[in-house]
Structure 1
Amino acid sequence: MDKYCTECGEAIDESLNFCQNCGHKLHASSEQDGNTVIPPKKQPKNYTKKQKIIMGAVAALLVFMIGGYTWGKSYFSPEKTAERFITAIIEEDYGKVQDLTMMQGESISQAEAEALVTLAKEEAHYINIETTNLEDFTNQNDLMKLIDNGKHLFIFPKYQFSLVPQYVDLDLPFKDIETTFNEETFPAKKNDERNIVYGPLAPGKYKIHSSYSGELTEAESDDVIILGDSYSDTVYHDVQLDAESTTFHLYNSNNSPIKNAYIEVNEQQIPFDESMNIDALGPMNLDGSVTATPIIETEWGKVTLEDIKIEEDYYELTLNTVSKELMDNLSEVILLYGEEYVEAHAANDATIFTAVTENVRENFQDDFSYNIEYGKNFTGQLDKIEINYDELTFYEKNEVAIPANFHFTASTYDIDEQPDLEERIDTVTLLMKFDSDEEKWLIDEASSYGLFSSNDFKATATLEGSQELHKATKSASAPASKDMDEQIEETTLNYIYSLVEAINADDYELVRPYIKDDSPLHGMQVDLVNRLVEKGMKQEVIDATVTNIEEDGDSWIVTTDETIKIIYSSGKEETSDYSWNYTVESDGNGVSLTNID
């Protein structure tokens, strides 16, 4: 029977008292010397060192994997994710906040993370971070929702807070304003220059910085806005900057033939549009630091209006003057006309005029023919002329109307009388036309100045006359006689028209030549002129005719039909027909009116 080592279990030679395999010493007992059989011992497997290392590593890995899975399952759980998120907010760990959030499938920026943290820490009613319980946190915060967004390590669910996107609509005072949120520029969803919608942005409390840099000013402002609408409704915000735009309107009151009009600012020309508007000049600080110069280029030269130190957001400019060049040209012609007026009237000679149109020359010659026929003389001088260029009006490009006051020292008298010189003021509107053939301006009409008297006149320029006295050239004989009825009719009609002129001009002297002094009619018409002037009433002769002349002793009764328009101070107009009987008497040289019935 084989013999086995009790130590290693290997078979041994029976003749040996030790194991030839492991060296174990054998001690045989008396029982062993007999028939005792020792059972074989299981021989253990002998591993190499490399095998033992591998086996140890596998065992360690297995332990690590089991522990890691257990830890990961806990760490990446929804509850722990919420705890880490709240901790990141409290510790202002913006990078971790970015890792734990997303919006519309994208990561949020650091600026958004900062705004989100600020909102949570400063505005508790938007985000409540007082609880780390996931269920409570979810129920109390409707700006975010925890969602499963992929895998961590390809094993664990990746939970993130999905944020409700926010939108802000900025109302800007003007265009070209740059805006940042927490110092970051975001793209605009909608851009209408002065109305810009930004988004999506993460919920948060943002610092808004708006800035503008232009040619006329630089401006900036800082503000705070909260974006925390759980339904993604747009939040509206007005941006305030210490700068505004200014609007200009040019009123062409004198109807100047404008070729070009603009505002000059800092050597830059900003043009008016076809409606004579500049809708928005600026933006700028309305503190008077910016000066604008309105310039209007016309067919008759350039007009520069007064500088404007801009302090308002709207200016209405009035073009009521003309270029200096045009004023000088017109003034020269008007002064020449005034000097020629006294010279021509003294000589009763219309050919003296060189500054009038042929039409005006013919009208004056008709007047002079009457003076010669009836022995009317004129002696006088031009003292000065006052002109109101602010009320100059262009009718056409080459035709203007200008109010003027002519101051004379003069006398109109009969051939057998001596001149009684006194001050005389003629307030007229001069109609002037440019003669392209002669290349100069000419007087085409000199009519009464509307319904105004010399007292209403406001001068913007004064031209000094020569004050050279021109004496009348008297006729050698008395005026040629005229058919008496013709004289009476002419005098009566002249009286009717002159009376209306006297009322409108508040100047009784205009009708006095046709009324006998100290007659009843003289007193009545002086009172009439004064009364109607006080009431502000004006008149206009629509029609006047003499229907009958009847001799009555040394006088005549003249019947007229008259249509007169009355203009009240309120602007109301009334036209009436009248029939009057005038008493006309002869004074040896002519006839005049003495009474009315």
Structure 2
Amino acid sequence: MKNCPNCGHENLADARFCEECGQPFAIEVSEEPVLAEEEQQESEKKRFCPNCGESIPADADFCPNCGHPLKAAVRPATTVRKPLSKKQKIAIGTGAAIVVLLIGGFLFSRHYYSYPQQLSRLEQTFKTQDPEKIAEIVTSEDPNYQVSAANLKKFVSYYQESGHKADFADFLMDLKTNPSHLADFSLQTKGKYLGLFPRYQLVIQPVYLTVTTDQAGMALSLDDKKLATSKGSNYQTTWGPLTPGSYQVEGKLDNEKSVSKQALMRYNNPEFETNSHVNINLHKISFKVTSNIDGAKVLLNDKEVGMIEKGQAEIKDVVWHQGMEVQLTFKTASDQLKSDTYQIAASEFAADDYDEDSDASVIQLDFDHVQSTADVQNFLDSLYSDLSGYTSRYGAFGAAQKSELAEYFVNGLSNADEKDFEKFINDIRTSGKKSQVDAKAKVESVSMTGKDVYTVQYLIYYDTVYTDDTDDVSEVFRYKKATLRYDEDEAKFQIDNLGGAENFERVGGGA
């Protein structure tokens, strides 16, 4: 040990300066012993003077070797960052991948569970028309209604009917773009997907049907399933909740039935409120249907009950029920024609009041763009009036008259029947004895056989007038199958053909 001559502080034996006051000591030369391995390791832990590099005690304020102040000068040794290990690198990579996946999953989920995407998936499910799949996305808030594939089949069947396919296309469009218009469903949020995104679900609105009767003891059925028996002359019952769709309501009393089909669908159905109330009255009606097409079928609520013959059909003693409609159909070679419909009210055509000669007992149902028997008769009257004039030896039958005659025939002068008419006219005019032939036509029947094509049966009355004292000769012939075409643009008939010799017959005649 070495005491400082200035302050008396005890210093290490090899100190060159006092570690307390910095007083320099006389330099003593001595050999520095080699440190043992343990001492060397221990020395590595010591502090070193930043000025001279000499080892210094941990609590020294000045370097014992060079006197350099240590408190402000000494800095902690720089930490050398070790390279990452393979495990550390894998851990960091895995963490980064998880973060990327979480962000990507969130962005995907936000799109997948977005409002438009959920509506699109609902629309695709309804598009399948599969009751099982639809039942998975539909719920109900009516405690008495059960959502099931069996019940939803009624909804699907409604839109599978030919008359409602266009409505189904509208339904799908509104489901995807404007669900508030659906009427039979409401769109509500039911919980959340992944705890983040609102879950949208369709809530079905069931329907109810009120049935009233005017007689007691009437068996009442819905879709062939008996649900009640009327208990008085003013009986009323309500059935439901029911799935929106079409239902058949039947009332039966003794051997009489009243059957009606009710469309209990709100969407695109302005008659919903009316159809939700059925009044079953079992009374008989009789009426007559007139039309402009012979051979047209008379349908009563889509069931054939008669046929138009000679312009009319008589329907007698049928049981009336609410919603009863009359319509005519006629099938041509290329089309199925339908008339307007007529809905019969409860107060109309009572069987006890039927009078076949009264207009009050008649329903007239004409087909649009169809020519009547009267139209055909007017055409033939014009043709045979001109024919009578052409046969007269006192009238002209030159190029102008031939051109007028040709207008009555399809293809004009090249029509074979037109040539026969010309020959007939010329034979009369050149006979020498005949003055003229007076001709008149009478239509017996008209049938529409195609668009603007008519098959006509008619009689021709010929009265031949002679130039001398010979008595007039009257003859009657029949064209059994003449084909006429109506030109809509020109608004006129033309003869296509008169049916050939096999469809022409002599009916009678004499002096």
Q: Same fold (TM over 0.5)?
A: no
Provide TM-score, normalisation by structure 1: 0.26
